[in-house]
Chains A and B, each alone.
Chain A
Amino acid sequence: MKQLLRSKEAGILLIIVLLSLLITLKNPVFLTSSNLLDILKNNTVPGIVAMGMLLVIITGGIDVSVGAMTAAVTVIIGKYMVHAGGNLLTVFLLGCGSGAILGAINGFFVAKLDIPPIVVTLGTMSIINGGMLYYTGGSWITNIPKWFIDFGRIKLLGIPVQILFLVGAAVLTHWVLRYTLIGRGVFAVGGNPIAAVRAGFHKDKILLFLYSYLGFMVGLAAVVHTSIMRQVDPNAFFSFEMTVIAAVVLGGANVLGGEGSVFGTILGVMMLAVIQNGLILAWIPTYWQQIVVGAIILLAVSLDVMQNRRRQDQLTRIDVAGEAPFGG
């Protein structure tokens, strides 16, 4: 507990609690389980993608093509279901598979050619988005088969199935990051890339892996999204990447690399979600909403940093003779 309070995530958790309290005071409906489940369900898609983005950001990279990739995968599975039918398994395989392939393309350029990730992904964003919209003309894919829609309606113990996928993605990512060598390699590359190679890591394999992993998450998110929306809008993910990146960074991941956690990222996603949800629940007038969101983000991140700084400053570096340890 003490460790949690001192951790990097504590600040953002505190802010979320504070916000929730404020909203609840204005409108108690906020704290009902059905509203909370709604918030969760409606943020599973950015949440799942954020899990992949987390890995990329830990290595000091960034992927701005996730919006385009997610849209492309929704189109791929949408077309597939409408034209070929398929079943749940094949849809997941196709979605995650095509996502992973798109991610691997990014990974290839980053890992093998050493091109800065932002350049690669800005490029592939234009290419994927352009290609996908050229091909679909932006038309929606409706007529998603009923079996798939039914799948999207499944609830287990009252919990929408989509939330379980988010939980699954989070658990998997946590496990990868904490208990696999490649996951630790992600941190190592983010902390000191030269040292990572010298320690024996294959940096290019790690990079290739994590961009593909992000692609895989994007694919999963695309399937989950389609199961919620029941149709495919190729334009639905315009500027989605910003939401995802914001969530991960809000959650304490360091854009310079080396730091970040699954728990923090989930908190980052939730913070954005709570703000969005609260805007309407707290009856904030439309034309004020963006001002409120911007101000909250600025305040929250500032508070977080200031609090961290104070803690750093008070840190005991030296066990000074005659001074109580950690003391006083």
Chain B
Amino acid sequence: MAEERFLQMEDLSKTYPGVKALDKINMEIRAGEVHALVGENGAGKSTLIKILAGAEIPDPGGRILIDGEPVSFAHPLEALRRRIAVTYQDLSLFPNLSVVENITISRKIEEGARHIDWREMRSTAQDALAKLDLDIDLTTRLSDLSLANQQLVAIARALVHDARLLILDEPTSSLSAEEVNALFRVISTLKAQGMSILFISHKLDEVFAISDRITVLRDGQHVGTYLREELDEEKLISLMVGRKIRFMQYEKRSVGKPLLEVKHLHKKGNFADISFTLHQGEILGLTGLVGAGRTEVAQAIFGRIIPDSGQIYLRGKEMKITSTTQAVQAGIAYIPESRQTQGLFLGKTLADNLSVTRLDSLANQFGIIRIDLLKDYVGKWIQRLSIRPPYPKMLIDQFSGGNQQKAILAKWLAYEPTVLIVDEPTNGIDVGAKSEIHQLLRELADQGIGIIMISSELPEVLAVCDRILVMRRGRVAAEFPKDDATQEKIMNAAILGGDARQDVS
């Protein structure tokens, strides 16, 4: 490993109105290293990389040095010209443009091109996708891609820059294990070529798998930078959160009566012949490769997609749900996978975002919202999910990604649904919060709620779920009771599709 200093940060601080996101950070990135940046939600990781990318201006007083020479970026283009390429946590892609352009356009700008050479752009994009072992139609509009593919496109975009520093802000949050492996292979190759990589992830196994050094941030402060060998998972967590956290393995418990029954649900081009039963007090895992159609099934139950045929029964009564409103009224809640576009009311406050599902219950008999009730309610949920900073009137845009996710969770937990469907609920959530969320889901199940948990993170599925369904290409490929499930079996079913549905209880 090269020990040569490449990029140094001296006393970098960043203050947002009311929040000190970064406080005098001093760290360095060496040439040819993979450097992981970890910390709790809101620790300041994204802010730090935005500064490195020129997307945010640091407070006066701090410095960034590249090869010992001070630089300052007033615009992201200047950072790009200094050969720093980034994938952002919110992806920062163009939903209305094709995959080709999303991958190549910033490279074109960096080169100072004025004209578009479509053929050349196509081949550049093709190369980048090939590096990631990806086969996506280049002319597809980005908004027609699944979240996972969008994330891969964002990564491919960073790859086309002939960068010295590649920054990846939670690149794996919606990727499947396969895709993560492909990404890691690429990272190793790039590292061998002398590129430095700054990598943010909440998945600590990934951090240990790939990084040379690890920097821990806490509350905007630099806790320390360590060689990977100096740390183990437990130590790292305690550095991050200042206390110890155990990843709970939950026991399978007896479950109640059938709550939600899905029979032969079919929607052309989405999914086929979906049948399963969810019981009271059960957490049913729904896993599989990204693009297997899990989201579509969930949205069909939630009334967002109208199936062509098949029945859904809630407590034995057939439901004809044609809108999300009806689903919600029937007691079904769905937490979507795409936080930015489907979950958040950007431009509104945390309080607004938290209270939207419970508004009617916060009003008095004249239909006027009672401020005192609202305050109590919001305060309670901020505390319960420890959303930080705990400012109800702060715009949701200004919260860190993880805290935004907590807000979305809170609004549905508060609704006290009968059936709760969570689609990749712990995306971008730190270990501490993640185990809190697991705990919460378990508690809810214990209260008799039926939960469907869509997740691509197998350890999580194995830890929390009572029963696991595996989907493959729009169909249920296998079903495992908790005791019988292993990562290998699930992966096998997800990729190859074991027809044997075991234990149909």
Instruction: Write the residues of chain A forming the contact surface with B, with a CB cutoff of 8 angstroms.
Output: 178-184, 187-188, 190-192, 194-202, 258-259, 314-323, 328
Contacts and interface: CB of A to CB of B under 8 A. Distances in A.
B114 interface: yes
Given A258-B95, A321-B472, A321-B475, A198 B270 contact: no
A180 B106 CA distance: 13
B97 interface: yes
Contacts of A181: 105, 108-109, 113-116
Contacts of B272: 320-323
A166 B296 CA distance: 46
A197 B270 contact: no
Contacts of A320: 268-272, 293, 473-475
A322 B475 CA distance: 9
Given A180-B115, A323-B272, A318 B92 contact: no
B345 interface: no
A83 to B, nearest CB: 40
A196 B94 contact: yes
B88 interface: yes
A197 B76 contact: yes
A187 B472 CA distance: 36
A318 B296 contact: yes
A256 to B, nearest CB: 10
A316 B472 contact: no
A322 B115 CA distance: 45
A198 B94 contact: no
A275 B474 CA distance: 47
A171 B352 CA distance: 47
A96 B101 CA distance: 32
Interface in B40-56: 53, 55
Given A320-B473, A321-B475, A197 B75 contact: yes
A195 B92 contact: yes
A182 B112 CA distance: 11
Contact of B86 (A184, A196, A198, A202): A198
A200 B92 contact: no
Given A179-B116, A188-B97, 11 more contacts: A191-B95, A192-B95, A197-B76, A198-B53, A198-B86, A198-B106, A314-B269, A317-B270, A318-B292, A318-B296, A322-B272
Contact of B497 (A314, A321, A323): A321
Q: Which 8 A-B pairs have the closest CB atoms?
A: A320-B474, A316-B269, A258-B96, A195-B92, A199-B106, A191-B96, A321-B473, A200-B109
Interface string B111-152: 001111000000000000000000000000000000000000
Interface of B: 53, 55, 75-77, 80, 86, 88, 91-97, 101, 105-106, 108-110, 113-116, 268-272, 291-293, 296, 472-475, 497
Instruction: Say what secondary structure dominates the interface of chain B.
Output: loop
A218 to B, nearest CB: 24
Contact of B96 (A178, A259, A328): A259
A192 B80 CA distance: 19
B101 A317 contact: no
A198 B92 contact: yes
A194 B293 CA distance: 30
Nearest to A179: B116
Nearest to B305: A313
Nearest to B91: A195
B93 A195 contact: yes
Contact of A318 (B86, B91, B115, B291): B291
Contacts of A182: 114
Contacts of B101: 184
Nearest to A260: B96
Contacts of A187: 94, 96-97
17 contacts: A179-B115, A181-B109, A184-B101, A184-B116, A188-B105, A191-B96, A198-B55, A198-B88, A199-B105, A200-B77, A317-B269, A317-B293, A318-B270, A319-B473, A320-B293, A320-B474, A323-B474
Given A181-B113, A317-B296, A194 B92 contact: yes
B292 to A, nearest CB: 7
A191 B341 CA distance: 13
A116 to B, nearest CB: 13
Given A320-B475, A321-B472, A321-B474, A192 B270 contact: no
A309 B475 CA distance: 25
Residue of A181, A320, A321 with highest tally of chain B CB at under 10 A: A320
A9 B97 CA distance: 17
Given A180-B116, A318-B473, A197 B269 contact: no
A190 B75 CA distance: 19
Contacts of B105: 181, 184, 188, 199
B52 to A, nearest CB: 12
Nearest to B292: A318
Nearest to A195: B92
A180 B116 CA distance: 5
Contacts of B113: 181
Contacts of B114: 180-182
Nearest to B474: A320
Nearest to A58: B96
Contact of B80 (A200, A258, A318): A200
B76 A200 contact: yes
Most chain A beta-carbon contacts within 10 A, residue among B86, B269, B474: B269
A86 B216 CA distance: 72
Contacts of B91: 195
Most chain B CB neighbours (cut-off 10 Å) among A181, A187, A318, A319? A318
Contacts of A259: 96
Contacts of B269: 314-318, 320, 323
B94 A195 contact: yes
Contacts of B86: 198
A40 B271 CA distance: 49
A201 B474 contact: no
Contacts of B95: 191-192, 258
Contacts of B77: 200-202
B75 A318 contact: no
